[in-house]
Amino acid sequence: MDQVGTAAIAPAEVPEAPEVRTRRGLFAHRDFRLLWAGESVSKLGSSVTSVALPLVAVVSLDAGPLAAGLLTGAVWLPWLLLGLPAGVWVGRVSRRAVMIGCNLASAALFASVPVAGWFGVLGLAQLLAVAFLSGVASVFFDAAYQAYLPELVRREDLVEGNAKLQGTASAARVAGPGLAGLTVQTLGAAAGLLADAVTFLIATATLLLIRPKPGPAEAEPAGAGLVTQVREGLAFLLRDPYLRSFTLYGAAANFALTGYQSIAVLFLIRDAGVAPGWVGGLASVGALGGVLGALVARPLCRRLGMARGVRIVLLTAMPFGLLLSLARPGLGIVLYAVGSLVMVAGVVLCNVVLGSFRQSYTPPALLSRVVATSMFANHATIPLGALAGGTLGSVLGLRATMWAMTGLLALCGALPLVSPLRTVRDLPTGPAGSCPRA
């Protein structure tokens, strides 16, 4: 197996755990159960913060549209600055330790906002700093988190593990805005950030309870520098036909998703004539689709094969996004809800399967670098999509932009078919692996 000039380190053996073969699946696996519980609470808190943080700026500091835009951009900017080298740095230390450190840093950052408010010294500069630094913590946490799961569970359990984790994250996106509204209404916007800080501490406690295992730390050749190691991870991803096409799909899909999401609220209220009270409900339907996609991922892959299952979902679920552009009062709302439900279910299902594939397929010595490179590419298109959606909405109109972005999303479903995915039943277990034909 080509290791791209890096010494291969065999992955740490995860002890056989017969209990995970019970009907409870990975929920019978103590360490996974701890990870899942901590991340579930943390994702709920983060969902609250996504509403509470901009509300603090608008309500407490009377921020305008420019400040709100800067606050959103500050969260994503660290991916552009640190996304590539993060994979190298994470590979040099314990991934569990990185996750714990990032959680503690995030807890301190979000707790600083209500504390500053209580002392009357809260300003926009602090909010921007909190948004940026929490984004930095998110970059390192996500790079470590994606590479940590294969250390915790067996390769054959990765799809189940990712499905459970992503399903809960989708459920948090359903419950989070409602909980945020209740918290803000009763305790104030800053209290929502304090609640998120507590969830990070809970997630840290669950990580500390996980039994540490010797992870597959990435060994670098003598004298290998940061740029060399980043180049090796990037070269491996670009040379591999599977990883290359899947990363291209993720980047393009995120561009299209963010493009329509950036104008969705305006479109529903101004062009579609939807009452403001229905907007939140329609957003929750999409999040419920994410839960459905996570639930279906494992049984679908068992029945059809990972490659064939993804292939069918990409070609059938993505075009449902076109129904969003038909939104109007009455039946049009139903079409929007159905399109959002099916399309988001397809996106999350593919995320579960392709993320699990990347974790099991990539050589351990390159995993955190390949993960970080993929996430860098996928996250870099998010602000570009938001900018494109806003610009096209101003020039072409909101409904025309919805058609353009959902149409692009439907076309994105064909991108992975440029790879050998189009002819195989199951995805390979490694770069030198072979796959049975469909």
What gap in Å lies between CA 83 and CA 187, rounded to an integer? 36
Of the candidates 197, 254, 258, the residue with the CA atom closest to the CA atom of residue 46 = 197
Q: What pLDDT shows up at residue 280? A: 64
CATH fourth-level superfamily of 226-429: MFS general substrate transporter like domains (1.20.1250.20)
SS (H, E, C) the chain: CCCCCCCCCCCCCCCCCHHHHCCCHHHHCHHHHHHHHHHHHHHHHHHHHHHHHHHHHHHHHCCCHHHHHHHHHHHHHHHHHHHHHHHHHHCCCCHHHHHHHHHHHHHHHHHHHHHHHHCCCCCHHHHHHHHHHHHHHHHHHHHHHHHHHHHHCCHHHHHHHHHHHHHHHHHHHHHHHHHHHHHHHHHCHHHHHHHHHHHHHHHHHHHHHCCCCCCCCCCCCCCCCHHHHHHHHHHHHHHCHHHHHHHHHHHHHHHHHHHHHHHHHHHHHHHCCCCHHHHHHHHHHHHHHHHHHHHHHHHHHHHHCHHHHHHHHHHHHHHHHHHHHHCCCCHHHHHHHHHHHHHHHHHHHHHHHHHHHHHHHCCHHHHHHHHHHHHHHHHHHHHHHHHHHHHHHHHHCHHHHHHHHHHHHHHHCCHHHHCHHHHECCCCCCCCCCCCEC
| pLDDT band at residue 228 using 50, 70 and 90 as cut-offs | confident
Q: What pLDDT shows up at residue 408? A: 94
The β-bridge partners of 424 are 437
Q: What pLDDT shows up at residue 184? A: 65
Q: Residue 221: pLDDT above 50?
A: no
Q: What pLDDT shows up at residue 335? A: 93
The mean predicted confidence, pLDDT, of the chain is 81
Q: Which long-range contacts (CB under 8 A, 24 or more apart) does 297-304 make?
A: 297/159, 297/162, 297/163, 297/348, 297/349, 297/352, 297/353, 298/159, 298/160, 298/163, 300/349, 301/159, 301/353, 304/425
pLDDT digit string (tens) for 290-330?
A: 888 888 888 988 888 888 888 899 889 999 999 999 988 88
Of the candidates 143, 167, 120, the residue with the CA atom closest to the CA atom of residue 287 = 167
pLDDT digit string (tens) for 324-335?
A: 999 888 888 899
pLDDT digit string (tens) for 29-41?
A: 889 999 999 998 9
| pLDDT band at residue 436 using 50, 70 and 90 as cut-offs | very low
Q: Residue 214: pLDDT above 80?
A: no
| pLDDT band at residue 110 using 50, 70 and 90 as cut-offs | very high
Domain positions in the chain: 17-211, 226-429
| pLDDT band at residue 152 using 50, 70 and 90 as cut-offs | confident
pLDDT digit string (tens) for 43-80?
A: 888 877 877 787 787 777 776 656 766 777 788 788 88
Return the minimum-mean-pLDDT range out of 340-349, 368-377, 392-401, 425-434.
Answer: 425-434
Percentage of residues in the chain with pLDDT exceeding 90?
A: 22
- Global pTM reads 0.74
CATH fourth-level superfamily of 17-211: MFS general substrate transporter like domains (1.20.1250.20)
Q: Residue 148: pLDDT above 70?
A: yes
Q: Residue 380: pLDDT above 90?
A: no
Distances (CA, A) of 65 to 57, 69, 263: 10, 6, 14
pLDDT digit string (tens) for 153-201?
A: 888 888 888 888 888 887 877 776 667 666 666 777 677 788 889 999 9
More confident residue, 23 or 393: 393
Q: Residue 11: pLDDT above 50?
A: no
Q: What is the crossing angle of helices 331-361 and 158-187, to 10°?
A: 130
pLDDT digit string (tens) for 249-305?
A: 999 998 999 888 878 877 888 888 877 667 767 777 887 888 888 888 889 888 888
Yes or no: say if 415 and 252 are a contact pair by the CB < 8 Å rule.
yes
